[in-house]
Amino acid sequence: MRIRLIAVGRRMPKWVVAGYEEFAKRLPRECRLELVELNPGDRSGGDVQRARQTEADRILDKLGERDHVIALDELGREATSAGWADAFESWLHSGRDVAFIIGGPDGLDERVLQRADHTWALAKMTLPHALVRVVVAEQVYRAWSIVSGHPYHR
């Protein structure tokens, strides 16, 4: 199973890159985690809606027809680590690739939310986009460890 983290934004701080890579490298080959970074839409003219639409075009272009898509949005459903593990196990058996979507600074366009199979929130509070990358990588690794019986999650 291929798991992609499709994120709007580039040039993350070193601590973000290091944190993400630490968890991504722990995963076995059969469920590798791949980061796909997309350029944000142009906000220089103050047209936020147009920027979100541009980002949506870029995100949707990266999705496969059969991908299982999880949009990360502050209005989504919160899940526990055990819930992530249950979902992870079902994805393993489905044969479909998985894509987590992190939008730009103004969130996700409605078209991306409609394409998503699930909309999840990582917390009730707003998290910095950079930190979300690390949290998702850690939770994917934690879900794998729960499903695999690895002692990381106790």
Q: For 26, phi and psi rounded to 5 degrees? A: -75, -20
Residue 12 assigned ligand-binding role: no
123 known member of a binding site:
yes
Is residue 119 annotated as involved in ligand binding? no
Q: How far apart are CA 42 and CA 140, in angstroms?
A: 31
Task: Specify which residues 121 forms β-bridges with.
Answer: 78
The answer to the question of whether 80 is labelled as a binding residue is no
Helices within the chain (DSSP H only): 14-26, 48-62, 81-94, 110-115, 129-148
Q: What is the DSSP string of 72-85?
A: EEEEEEE--HHHHH
Distance CA 72, CA 49 (A): 18
- Collapsing DSSP states into helix, strand and coil, what is residue 14? helix
Annotated binding-site residue numbers for S-adenosyl-L-methionine = 72, 103, 122-127
Binding-site entries: 72, 103, 122-127
